[in-house]
Structures are given as C-alpha cells and as structure tokens.
Structure 1
Amino acid sequence: MEGVSSRENCINASTSDIFEEIEPNTCSYACCHPRGSCHRFIALFFMCWLGFGSYFCFDTPSALLDIFKRDLNLTSTEFSLFYSLYSWPTVILCVVGGILIDSVFGIRLGANIYMCITLIGQLCFATGALFNVFWIMVLGRFIFGIGAEPLAVAQNNYAVLWFKGKELNMVFGVQLSFARLGSAANFWIMESVYEWVEQYYKGYECLGIVLYLACISCVVSMICSLILGFIDKRAERILRRNENSVNEVIRFKDVKGFNSNFWLITIICVAYYIAIFVFISLGKGFFMKKFNMSPSSANKVNSMVYLISSVGSPVLGLVVDKLGKNLFWTIMAITSTLCAHYILTFTYWNPYIGMVFMGTAYSLLASSLWPLVSLIIPEHQLGTAYGICQSIQNLGLAIGTIFAGMIVDNYGYLWLEIFFISNLGVALIASSVMLYIDTSTDGSLNMTPSQRERHQQTLLAAKVLEREKLISAGVTSSASSQDLLQPNSDFHIRNRYLSRIGAPLPSHYDINMKGLAYRALR
C-alpha cells in the first residue's frame, strides 16, 4: 500500500511539474491550467448549471398554480404548504449544510450529495402528483428543500475557491443571473409543456408527467455537479491545495468569533431582501390597485426586477471587479432601492421607472455585498458563514412575508411601502456602520483591486518577517514537532528569499501556505 501511495504521489508531483512549466501567457496555460482564465470560466459554466435545476423546479407550483388547484383539488392553504414546508426547515438546514461542507464532506462531495437529495425530492414530488397522493408531494418538497438550499452554499464555496482575488464579484453576478433565468424559464415554458402533455393524458396524471419532465433540469445539474467535481479534483492535484493548506476544521463555537462586519452583512441581507422579494410577492396587487393595471400588465411590471437582474448582474459584477470599492457600491445600491420605493409610493410616474431602478440596484447589491463575506471569513469557515447568511435571510423573509400580509389586510399598500422603506433604512444604517468600522481599521473592504493587492503583499511580508524573528529568537515552544519539520516548497523558499531582500511578493501567494502556518503564531 505504501508503494502504491508513493507512486500516486510521484504521478501527482510530475503532473504538477508539467503544468508549472507551461508559460503563463500561452493558450495552453489559459485552457488547461486551473489558474488560466479560460479554464476557470469553463468551471464557472458548470457552477452555473449546478444550481439551475433547483431554481427551475422551485417555482413550478407558482407557474402552474391554477392547474395544481384544479387537477389535485387543492385549497389555497394546502397549496401554500408546498412553499412553507420548503422555507421553514431551511432556516436550520443552511447552517447545518454549510458546517457539513466545511467539516465533513468538502465542497465536491457536499455538492454531489445535496444535488442528489434535490433530485430525489423533485422525483418524489412528481410521483405524488402522478398518483394524486398529497402527503408524498409535501414530503417531496421538504426533501427538495433539504438539498436545494445547502446546494446554494456549495455553489458559493466553489465560486470563492476558483475566483477569489480575481473576478469574484462578476462571478456572483453571473450565478445570480443564471438563477433568475432558471426561475424565468419555468414561467415561460411549463404551461406550454402542460398543454402538450394534455393531448395524451388528463388531470393529475398529466400534471405528474409534466413534473417528471421538469426533473430533467435536475438531472442536467446532477451531471454538471459530477463534471465540476472532476475538474476541481484535477485542479486540487495540479495546484497542490492539500499541501498548501493547514487543514483547519470549523467548530460551531467558532461562529462566536465571526466579527461584527459579518453580522452587519447578515442584517443588510435580511432588511434589503425583504424590500425586494416580499415586495415582488405582493407587487401584482399593488400595481393593479394603485395604477389600475390589468393582471397581465401588473405581472409584466412585477417581473422587471428578475428580468433586469438576469442581464445586469454579470455586467455590474464585472464593473465592481474592475473598480473595487464593494462597500461604496453596496451603499449606492441600497440608496437607489430607497429611491425606487419612494417613486412607487409617493408618485404616479410610470411604474416601469421605479422597477428599473429597483432591478438595477438589486443586481448591483448582489454583485458587491456577497463577495464581502469572503474578505471577512477564512476559507475553511466560508460554508458555515454563507449557510448562516442564507438561514437568517430565509427566516427574515418568512417572518417578513407574514408581517407584510397582515399590513396589507389591515392598513393597505401605503403602509406596506413604508414598511419596506423602513427596512431599507435599517440596511442603509448597517452599511454605513460597516463603512465607519472599515475606515477606522485597515479599510480592506472598500479598497480598489490594486490597493487590495498591495495590502495583501504588506501582510504577507509582515508575516514572513514575524516568523523569522520568532525562529531566530527561539520562540517555538508552542509549536509541535510536526510544524517544525514541515518541508518548505521551492515556491515558498523563493518567496521567502524575495521578501528578505525587500522585493514585493507575488499577488497570488496564498497567506495560508503550510510553510507559513505555525501554531506559535496563532
């Protein structure tokens, strides 16, 4: 067994050496090396399709609402269970799923497991419809939620792993765009699919077959998850990630150590998304009542946020990548959304104006806010961090939806809009506090790309210097023999020499390199 292991290590090392010899500015490097731009965007293609199936299938009941009620003889209360039994468990499952990704499964296995659970849930949902067994359908949606929400956490982790320090803001925008396209595609095609199947089957059997056809999107996502896992495994071998990591494990008590900026981001997520998603859920009635629109016209206006975000998110993400200043863009997005709600509430301007403002601002916030988590939280805790964000966001949306419905029933849409504006005020205050804290410290959350690169090089040089001082002073009592006997790679030795002669370190030099990870310094 030792011989086999050593042969595998030799193969891995020789493979890595081959790729290290490829010139960085060649076509071969761009397409074949994991750090190459073309190769990374191939991985992004599969990342986007990884989540497409879950977003497509999630909105199937809404797209076929009247058909569900008619073919299955459901009441509105029974129909609402398809969403409530999806949403409420995710308040806990996102956190648990994130911890399992960080501590147990890893990204690749976690993504495959959660995608498989999502597919099983959708198959169960379709089977219940085919045989008109309501409890099986409800169980299917519950299982679907167990897989779909943690899958989004895995998708975020993949994005950070492959694009941190590069085009991360744009990548989050592209993923958001693909998610919105998945939701929109469901509304565009499912009714036509039902009409086609209805030529051969009737009633709940027809609905069940249509839901089975929707499962195809999850099968495609499952295949993409497996391919992405293979690509990432290859990248791990070539980049020697296991050699360059300290294998730190997340513990639930570590959550208490998340700094104040992380919790401020969570507050912004909850307060801002209430003003977007809860508004959209009740927007049709608002536009019909205030602007005397027909149901179809109100639906078109209400869909503008999704339509604009599907196109604008990648573009605005690229802008944020090039210019940096994530906190500035976050504050701009919240302020623009406030203006949009003000226009819709207190003027009778064409509602498309306010919705275009809102859609653009939503795209900008999603592209600038979510990447901030990766600048605050260590990589080995990112799954947990994103899981907490999504869990608290789901809880806030669930409570916010109930509260908004009560406001409409008792006080009307004017007070509903005031409720949304108040939430945006909370988000604006939280983002302003973040800016104040960041300005008072190192300003790392609101830097331009060049400033962040210089800042990271300064931190790396300081870390190397501190290590040298501690070693020369003999301060290694708390370091284990395993730490002290770690071999330094040629890459680390070269950069150590550069730092000692005062040369700037490369921007891609990872501060979590094993050669620099001494427990005595923690």
Structure 2
Amino acid sequence: MAGMGEEEDLITEEDPLTGQGDGSARARRSPCSDPAHWLHRIVVLVFMCFLGFGSYFCYDNPAALQTQVIQDMKLNTSGFMQLYAWYSWPNVVLCFLGGFLLDRVFGIRLGTIIFASFVFVGQIIFASGALFNRFWLMEAGRFVFGIGGESLAVAQNTYAVNWFKGKELNLVFGLQLSMARLGSTVNMNIMGWVYDRIKDLMGSAGPTTLGIALMIGATTCLFSLACALVLGFLDRRAERILKKEQGKTGEVIKLTDVKDFPLQLWLIFIICVCYYVAIFPFIGLGQVFFIEKFDFSPAEARAINSVVYIISAPASPVLGFMVDRTGKNVLWVACAILATLAAHMMLAFTFWNPWIAMSLMGLAYSLLACALWPMVSFVVPEHQLGTAYGFMQSIQNLGLALIAMAAGAILDNRGYLFLEVFFCACICSECYLSS
C-alpha cells in the first residue's frame, strides 16, 4: 500500500503549466520544450546570444556613418565624439547600480526587458534627432541608449550563469562575445550601404536621410527586445517546471570596500582605461582616417575599420582557452599592450597596408580582454569582486567619455598624426605600469 501511495502521488502531482501529472507531462514534452534537456537550452542560448545584438549593432552607428553624421548635422569632430561621451556618462554610475537593480528591484526577467527597452527607445530618440535636425536630441538619445546598454550586458551574463553554470559556461560566454562582435561588424559594413540606398531614393543626402537610416538600425534593437521577452517567458516557464529560483548577478556592491583595494588592483584599473581609450575612440574616428591617409573608398574604409571586431569574434574563445591553459595572465597582458602599440605606430608612421595593423590590433584586443579582466579575481577576495568589477567598468566609462571628447578636440586642432601619437602615449603609459 505504501508503494501504491507513492506511485499515486507521482501520477497526481500536477505540472504547474499543464495541470497534468508531472510524470506524464514530462514524458509528453518534446526535448525542445523540456527545460532540463540540452536541446531546449540550445534554443535558449540562441535567444541569449541575440539579446545584445541590437545594442552592439547600434553602439557604433556613429562610427559607421562618421562622414555622413558630420556633414548632415554640420558638426566638427569634437561634436561628433560627444555621441560616444553621452553613451558613457550614465555608465559611470550604472555599473554600480545595474546588478543591484537586477537582483533587488526588477528581477532578471523584468530588468532585462526594461534595459532592452531603454536601448530601443534611446535609438529611436537618436534617429529622431537626425530626422528633425536637432543634435541635442541625438545626444539625449545616446544618453538613454547608454542607460540600457551596459546593464543589458550584465543581464545577458546573468542569464548565461543561470542556465549554463558549470563546464559549458566559458563556451557560452565566448559565443555571446562572438555574437556581440558580429553585431558591431555587420553595423560597420552595412549602415553606409543603407544610407546610400536611402539617399538614392530621396534624391539627396541630409538629416532626413540620416534619420531614416538610423531608424532602420533601430529594428535590430526591437529584435533584441523581442529576444528579452521570449527569454523572460522561457525562464519563468523553467522556474515553474524545475522549481528553481530566479537568477542573480552575484554582484554585491559595497562602496566601503574601495578603501581596502590593493595597489595591484588600482594598476589593473589604470591599465584597463589606458588600453580601451586607445581602441574605441580610434574605431569611432577610424573611417575618415583610412579615407584620408590611405585613399580608401568609404566602403573600403568601413571594412577595414571593422577588422578589430571581425577578428575578435572567433579569436576571443580561442585566446581565452589559451590564457586558461597557460595561466600567465600578466605576460599575455604585456604582449597585448606591445602588439597594440606596434599597430598604432604602423598606422601613424608608415603607409603599410593597414590590414596588417588592424589585424594585429584585433588579436591584441581579444587577448587583453581574456587576460586582464580575470586578474581582478587574483588580487581581491570573492566578496569584493562585485565592487571591484563595478568600479573597473565605472572608471573605464569615465575614461572613455573624457578621451572621446579629448580625441575630437585633438583631431579638430592637430590632425590624425597627433591623435595617433596621443594614443601611442596612452599605451606607453600602460607598458610602464605593467612592467
């Protein structure tokens, strides 16, 4: 009788979604709809990878349309680079608050949808600023876009940990990074073509043509928002079926921990800032550089400007595996810095084919990302990791905002050669600190 009672309990226990007995419901679910099956998790992974596609695609819309934005909106380079500065300003603060909002306020599902909505709305405002020929509205759009962009990346990583914790996690992070770089690459190579097709239809260039092109770019953000909604549904469904808790970021932010940070961690922060300010502002301004110095066509310039992202997509997982196997993070960071310095010096002082320098920069960028960020966990205890990474991202965004404005001013007043010397100086300061 005891055995029959246990069997009856198994049969009559209801599935919270179907109302059927759990055993029979589980048996009738196909592998693609069973949250415990690997096929279902692959479906989730597809939506997870595309979650950040729109954000990365639209982040570098200004770089892909550098000439068009400057001409149509009647800007100088300093004004143009404000579009990158306004993205970074909110993230000086939100790097601390994003994980807290996901964990304690919104929850991962609602938080992801909210941040994806900020990205979409921000891009719409940005495009509307061009349509109405109001540059201040474009800046406001980039600010709203920035509110969602970095926090959406935190949400994406949280979903990955929640669904793939264990031996698959490194591969999943590598795939997510590859998809992000794919978004950046597609943007660099397609937005100029989109602008040209709209110009042909309109009969002339101008703010309206630019605004329509940016509105078309916003469809990628809408697609990412749709992925956030589907992920929310799938995660809620899995939570009810598998009786699991909603994912947490694992970030515990305590600003009082900052006073206990060791000197090595501050050096990592400075190296991070000095490195990234020599990469992203250069890509933001790179298209015109390749047109002016190497006499490339706009299409060729856009293609070469995207090489860093093209290489980063497949190289990041491979280089991450290499760093994990060797464990010599400091050595790999030094190699990445020296390679980036060599790439900038080739671009500044030679007329060698820039594909060489940009390919080297792409490999170095991927290598540094794989080697530098894990070093934080080597020098601070686990309970301070959330604060350390939040502070690192905050300083990085502050540096990017300030250097974006400085790079625009240098280019307006001194030209590309002086700007490249400035980037080389930033990297040389890294070489001194890393040694």
Normalised-by-shorter TM-score class: 0.7 to 0.9
Alignment partner for residue 225 of structure 1, among 220, 225, 228? 228
Give me the whole-angstrom Cα distance separating, in 1, the residues matched to 2:161 and 2:259: 21
Equivalent residue runs for 1:31-50 within 5 Å: 31=32, 34=35, 36-50=37-51
CA contact (8 A) 1:56 1:185 kept: yes
> In 2, are the aligned partners of 1:159 and 1:171 still within 8 Å (CA)?
yes
**Number of corresponding residues:** 408
> What does residue range 151-170 of structure 1 map to in structure 2 within 5 Å?
151-170=152-171
Structure 2 Cα separation of the partners of residues 267 and 405 of structure 1? 22
Q: Judging changes above 3 Å, is the alpha-carbon distance between structure 1 residues 19 and 110 closer, same or farther for their aligned structure 2 residues?
A: farther
1:272 aligned to which of 253, 270, 275: 275
Distance between the aligned counterparts of 1:248 and 1:329, measured in 2? 24
Asked if structure 2 preserves the Cα contact closer than 8 Å seen for 1:125 and 1:140, the reply is yes
Higher mean Cα deviation, 214-223 or 167-176? 167-176
* CA distance in structure 1 between the partners assigned to 2:90 and 2:178 by the alignment: 26
Q: Which among 417, 422, 435 is matched to residue 424 of structure 2?
A: 417
- Aligned equivalent of 1:345: 345
State how far apart, in whole Å, the 2-side matches of 1:283 and 1:195 are. Answer: 19
Post-superposition offset of 1:84: 2.2
1:168 maps to amino acid: L
1:363 and 1:115, CA in 2 relative to 1: closer, same or farther beyond 3 A? same
Describe how 1:402-441 pairs up with structure 2 within 5 A.
Answer: 409=414, 412=418, 413-414=420-421, 416-426=423-433, 428-429=434-435
In structure 1, runs of 5+ residues without a counterpart are: 1-8, 430-522
1:363 equivalent to 2:369? Answer: no
> Match of 1:191?
192
Percentage of identical aligned residues: 46
Q: Deviation of residue 401 (structure 1)?
A: 4.5
Say if 1:208 and 1:416 are closer, same or farther in 2 by CA, change over 3 A. Answer: closer
Taking the aligned partners of 1:373 and 1:161, their CA distance within structure 2 comes to 22
Q: Tell me what 1:211 maps to.
A: 214
Residue 366 (structure 1) shift: 2.8
Structure 1 residues 378 and 239, CA gap change in structure 2 (3 angstroms): farther
Q: Give the conservation status (yes or no) of the 8 Å contact 1:305–1:362.
A: yes
**Offset of 1:100 from its aligned partner?**
1.2
Who is 1:145 aligned against? Answer: 146
Aligned to 2:94: 93
Deviation at 1:75, TM superposition (A): 4.4
Residue 272 of structure 2 aligns with an amino acid whose one-letter code is C
Choose 1 or 2 for highest CA Rg. Answer: 1
Give the counterpart of 2:313 among 310, 326, 333: 310
**Quick one: distance in 1 between partners of 2:247 and 2:180?**
33
- Following TM superposition, by how much is the alpha carbon of 1:137 offset from its aligned partner in structure 2, in angstroms? 2.6
Whether the 8 Å contact between 1:275 and 1:420 is mirrored in structure 2 is yes
Match of 1:486 in 2: none
1:115 Cα offset (Å): 0.7
The AA in structure 1 aligned to 2:99 is G
Q: Which deviates more, 272-281 or 45-54?
A: 272-281
Post-superposition Cα deviations, 1:98-154, rounded to whole Å, max 9, x if no partner, equal 321232112211111011111111122222322333333322222111122211221
Does the 8 Å CA contact 1:173/1:314 hold for their aligned counterparts? yes
1:485 maps to none
Report the TM-score when normalising by structure 1: 0.65
User: Aligned pair in 2 of structure 1 residues 394, 244: CA closer, same or farther (>3 Å)?
Assistant: closer
What is the CA–CA distance in structure 1 between the aligned matches of 2:295 and 2:124, rounded to whole Å?
A: 36
Q: Cα distance 1:197–1:280, how it changes in 2: closer, same or farther (>3 A)?
A: closer
Measure, in 1, the Cα distance between the counterparts of 2:226 and 2:328. 39
Task: Report the Cα distance in structure 2 between the residues aligned to 1:119 and 1:244, rounded to whole angstroms.
Answer: 24
State the secondary structure of the residue aligned to 1:241.
Answer: coil
Q: 1:497 maps to what in 2?
A: none
For 2:200 and 2:368, how far apart are their aligned partners in 1?
Answer: 45
Highest relative contact order (Cα 8 Å, sep 6+), 1 or 2?
2
> CA shift at 1:89, angstroms?
2.5
* 1: CA distance, partners of 2:341 / 2:193: 34
In the alignment, is the contact (CA less than 8 A) between 1:377 and 1:385 conserved in 2? no
C-alpha displacement of 1:385: 5.8
1:254-403 to 2 correspondence within 5 Å? 255-256=257-258, 260=262, 266-281=269-284, 293-296=294-297, 301-317=304-320, 319-320=321-322, 324-325=324-325, 327-329=327-329, 331-342=331-342, 345=345, 352-370=355-373, 386-401=389-404
TM-score with structure 2 setting the length: 0.76
Q: For residues 273 and 139 of structure 1, do their structure 2 counterparts lie closer, same or farther at Cα, with a shift above 3 Å needed?
A: closer
1:326-355 Cα deviation digits (max 9, x unpaired): 842564254144145246538967654444
Cα deviation 1:280-312 (Å, max 9, x = unaligned): 4566788789xx632457765554322211232
Is there any run of 5+ residues in structure 2 with no aligned partner, and where? Answer: 1-12
Shift of 1:229: 1.5
Give the 3-state SS of the residue equivalent to 1:198 in structure 2: helix
